Amino acid sequence: MKIQKLKTGITCYKVAEPKNVTNLTSSTKTAFTLAEVLITLAIIGIVAVLVMPPLIRNYQSRSWSTASDLFQKRLAEATKQMNTQGQLLGYLSTEDFVNNGLSKYMKIIKKCNKDELDKCFSPKFNYGTEELETSSLTTASNFGKDNWSTDPYGIILDNGTTALLVYNKDCSYIDPYNNQIDGTSCLSVAYDVNGMKTPNTINQDLFTMNASLSKYACISKGLLDETGVCLTQSIFGINFTVADCLKIKDEYGLKYCYGFWLSNGSSDPTADDRFAGAVVACGGLNHVASEAQLEKIAQYVYKREDIPDTIFDSDKLDDLVLDPDRWKEVSGKDLPSSGTAYYMIVNEELPVTSRYKTRAFATNRTYNSASWERGWANSVFCVR
């Protein structure tokens, strides 16, 4: 700024012009165009879509894992207190254990017996490669506890965790004076820390303790105890054709579909393929009784060790007599009429007739070709 004094005695101030001044009226301010803003937002959205789901899943996984640890600690602490108070053992059922024992140490807001388990647990859930229905888990055997003689019981805790429990009424003695020992070994448990909400999947929001869940339960405790074979169902009247087999062979991992051979070397699509039908009925190749397992079943129902290997030599079958009680135990049926025989399909997947190796279940000393025709009941025994 430069000061000049004029002759009139008046002092005036004159602002000196700055050097290198540009024409301010010609200057412009830069900004993002609408297209640029939209592109930027789109990029941010794409990044969010790629990044956020894994972050959310990771957060949920940690949250469910923490909730699982909390449930196990609560259950362990509850059973530890029950043990020190002498209230852990001696119950006759899981329901008795929950109502007269556990409910005193854990806040349970809902209870369900074995006929209403799906009211206390997700009706369906993912367990490994299969989907299980809660309504099918009605015995201790479904929890992998074939020798426990109590039924499952459902509960919902105050924090929303749902659980299915099986109590072992024959649980061995646990020292009540050792307050470091809990009683969870007396229980088999499946629990969902996310309650009825999805995903209802094992090792995500659903966990187990001392349990191996399966929809296949052993139906004959005597057979299991004596032979070690877990028989899950006996099916009579398998109707399955080669055409049916061709539709499911890849799904069930079958190598062949076998029927009567036609002159052109192919199988008759209308012919029976009872082996494929057995695989479907039992739920997979590994659930169809093997020849060794069938032999054990035969030994059990006949009450003898030496079972003939062939059904075509009647002399070897003349002295075979089924035990009526054991037959009903494994088949769910009364003994058939005189002269009838039953046969079982063997787990042998071959492209020849030998895949239909069978063992006879003759009912008495009468055995002839007529009984063979009547006895072809298309029957199959499934195992776990």
pLDDT tens-digit readout, 135-168: 999 999 999 999 898 999 999 999 999 999 999 9
Instruction: Label residue 342 exposed, middle or buried (CB < 10 Å: 0-12, 13-18, 19+).
Output: buried
Cβ 300 vs Cβ 268: under 8 Å = no
* Two tokens, residue 216: 């296949």
Q: According to the model, what pLDDT value does residue 18 have?
A: 57
Predicted pLDDT at 125 = 96
E strands along the chain, which residues?
2-5, 11-14, 108-112, 124-127, 130-133, 153-157, 162-167, 187-192, 206-209, 231-235, 341-343, 360-362, 380-383
Mean pLDDT for 53-69 is: 84
Q: 324-331 and 291-302 are packed helices; what angle lies between their axes, rounded to 10 degrees?
A: 140
Q: What is the pLDDT averaged over residues 201-212?
A: 95
Considering only 163-172, 221-230, 273-282, which range has the smallest mean pLDDT? 273-282
Interstrand relation of 187-192 and 206-209 (parallel, antiparallel or unpaired): antiparallel
d(Cα 166, Cα 145) in Å, to the nearest integer? Answer: 9
**Range with the largest mean pLDDT of 2-16, 93-107, 209-223, 306-320:** 93-107
pLDDT top residue among 321 and 196? 196
Q: Which of 236, 233, 275 is nearest to 379 (CA)?
A: 236
Closest by alpha carbon to 278, among 213, 336, 356, 335? Answer: 356
CA-to-CA separations, 229 to 148, 218, 322, 328, in angstroms, rounded: 16, 9, 18, 16
Instruction: Please state the domain extents for the chain.
Output: 67-209, 221-383
Sequence-distant (6+) residues with CB within 8 A of 210 are: 184, 185, 187, 188, 189
Greater pLDDT, 9 or 345: 9
Rounded to an integer, the average pLDDT of 22-41 is 71
Query: How many CA within 13 A on the CB side of residue 83?
Result: 22
CB contact at 8 A, 228 and 214: no
Residue pointed to by tokens 């009605």: 138
Q: By CB neighbour count within 10 A (0-12 exposed, 13-18 middle, 19+ buried), where does 220 fall? A: buried
In whole angstroms, what is the distance from residue 200 CA to residue 207 CA?
Answer: 10
Among the listed ranges 232-241, 251-260, 314-323, which one has the minimum average pLDDT value? 314-323
Render the burial of 302-334: b for 16+ CB within 10 Å, e for the rest.
beeeebbeebeebebbeebebeeebbebbbeee
Phi, psi of 241 (to 5 degrees): -110, 170
- By CB atoms closer than 10 A (0-12, 13-18, 19+), residue 269 is middle
CA pair distance 252, 235, nearest whole angstrom: 19
Q: What percent of the chain has pLDDT over 90?
A: 38
Q: What is the per-residue pLDDT for 197?
A: 94
| Average pLDDT score, the chain | 78
Instruction: Count the Cβ atoms, other than its own, within 10 Å of residue 166.
Output: 28
Using an 8 Å Cβ cutoff, are 140 and 98 in contact?
no
pTM for the whole thing?
A: 0.69
Q: Say whether 108 sits in a helix, a strand or coil.
A: strand
